[in-house]
């Protein structure tokens, strides 16, 4: 019992939004005028709903509260920005919050760390890995990524902890503010992807182990710290996401080869893959009311199903994207200007095809789903908050994108001589 009480106190300590605000001040982030008074009032009244501050408490004003932290070595008054964070079109949040910072370098560094867990990074990283480096490695990374993100999103909707209260926390990002906080799925992907990349590639690729360890450590640390800096997660959220991702890796790494082999070779694999991923999506939609996490979950599952089905079609048609066994272990020493140029050209052409596929499928699936389920589509935002629209739209759209990633685009490369 004593141990449980100590753990409970430790968890409460790590969940305290004041710790997030202290880290932000240490990095030079300060809220708008009146923020210090709002912090004191927040301490009296308790956390606000999912970390969203009443606008009257921070809107307007050009000063900054006295006594906030500084970055070591910083000098002079902070330069105040007024910025509008990336806004989610499905939410009604304005997303405008004035803040000041003493270090633009840290702001851009942690913004980069946050992007390592966003769609823009995924739509560049996974295609580059599959088209230019090693399709064998890319397929396995996607399998692990799908399970890590799915289990993380489901855990959020089961635990239902709100975002850190604001104030005292300054929200530098609001795109995912409607989602729950525990665990941090950014921290989970920022842990799982680099560690899986290291585990799967070492021995298959020639590079110093220390280089891989340093890269994985820096990647993970940057993503985890960025979520605290942005005010989106408590320290406890990030630690839980880190440990949860490691647990999932321990469970799924031993069977990832079996899963990939099943996807490639089993005759009825596409039917099972599509049915399983769709069933998982329907289950996740029943865990809680609407939030952006539901669409993200369907998006991840659709992408995973599309990639697996595309891999199966490649195998059945004899289109092997994997490096020949005689070339193993692979090395970057053969990199030339010509090889690099072709890699960039493949990435540019392929990503354009994927984006066009995404846009076309979105235009087709949303009105179709609304028509099938008799849902008014005058207001697309409200229509997409219905499971009957959001699940098929995301699942079919990103399933097609995943299929194009593995089959359509490689066939295009072969046709134009870029394979």
Q: Active-site residue numbers?
A: 186, 233
Judge contact between 402 and 314, C-beta under 8 A: no
Two tokens, residue 334: 């053969």
Judge contact between 408 and 358, C-beta under 8 A: no
CA 301, distance to chain mean position in Å, is: 13
Distance CA 402, CA 343 (A): 19
Two tokens, residue 256: 């990832």
Task: Provide the total of helices (H) and of strands (E) in the chain, helices listed first.
Answer: 16, 3
Distance CA 331, CA 180 (A): 42
* Cβ partners under 8 Å of residue 100, min gap 6: 29, 30, 64, 78, 79, 80, 81
* Stretch (H or E) spanning 107: helix 104-115
Distance CA 100, CA 74 (A): 13
Bridge partners of residue 330, in order along the sequence: 205
Distance CA 49, CA 146 (A): 29
* Stretch (H or E) spanning 186: helix 185-201
3-class DSSP state for residue 243?
Answer: helix
Distance CA 353, CA 158 (A): 37
- Give the strand pairing for 79-81 and 29-30: unpaired
Judge contact between 58 and 34, C-beta under 8 A: yes
Nearest to 181 by CA among 167, 197, 165, 199: 165
């Amino acid at each position: 019992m004593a141990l449980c009480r100590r753990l409970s106190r430790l968890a409460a300590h790590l969940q305290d939004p004041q710790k997030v605000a202290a880290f932000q001040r240490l990095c030079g982030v300060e809220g708008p005028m009146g923020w210090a008074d709002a912090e004191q009032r927040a301490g009296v009244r308790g956390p606000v709903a999912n970390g969203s501050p009443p606008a009257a408490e921070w809107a307007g004003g050009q000063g900054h509260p006295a006594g906030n932290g500084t970055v070591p070595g910083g000098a002079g008054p902070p330069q105040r920005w007024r910025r509008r964070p990336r806004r989610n079109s499905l939410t009604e949040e304005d997303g405008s919050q004035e803040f000041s910072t003493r270090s633009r370098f840290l702001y851009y560094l942690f913004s980069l760390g946050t992007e390592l867990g966003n769609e823009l990074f995924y739509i560049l990283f996974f295609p580059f890995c599959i088209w230019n480096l090693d399709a064998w490695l890319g397929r396995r990374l996607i399998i692990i990524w799908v399970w890590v993100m799915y289990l993380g999103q489901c855990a959020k909707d089961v635990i239902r902890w709100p975002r850190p209260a604001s104030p005292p926390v300054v929200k530098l990002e609001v795109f995912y503010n409607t989602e729950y906080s525990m665990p941090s799925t950014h921290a989970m992907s920022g842990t799982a992807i680099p560690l899986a990349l290291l585990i799967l590639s070492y021995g298959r690729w020639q590079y110093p182990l220390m280089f891989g360890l340093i890269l994985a450590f820096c990647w993970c640390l940057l993503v985890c710290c960025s979520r605290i800096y942005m005010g989106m997660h408590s320290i406890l959220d990030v630690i839980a996401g880190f440990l949860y991702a490691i647990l999932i890796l321990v469970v799924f790494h031993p069977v990832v080869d079996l899963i990939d082999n099943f996807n490639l070779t089993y005759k009825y694999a596409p039917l099972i893959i599509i049915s399983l991923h769709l069933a998982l999506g329907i289950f996740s939609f029943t865990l809680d009311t609407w939030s952006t996490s539901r669409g993200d979950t369907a998006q991840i599952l659709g992408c995973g199903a599309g990639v697996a089905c595309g891999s199966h079609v490649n195998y059945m048609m004899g289109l092997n994207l994997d490096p020949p066994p005689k070339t193993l272990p692979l090395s970057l020493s053969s990199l030339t200007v010509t090889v690099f140029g072709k890699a960039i050209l493949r990435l540019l052409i392929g990503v354009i095809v994927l984006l066009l596929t995404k846009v076309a499928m979105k235009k087709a699936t949303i009105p179709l789903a609304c028509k099938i389920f008799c849902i008014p589509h005058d207001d697309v935002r409200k229509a997409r908050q219905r499971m009957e629209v959001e699940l098929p739209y995301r699942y079919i759209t990103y399933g097609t994108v995943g299929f194009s990633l593995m089959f359509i685009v490689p066939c295009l490369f072969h046709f134009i001589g870029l394979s």
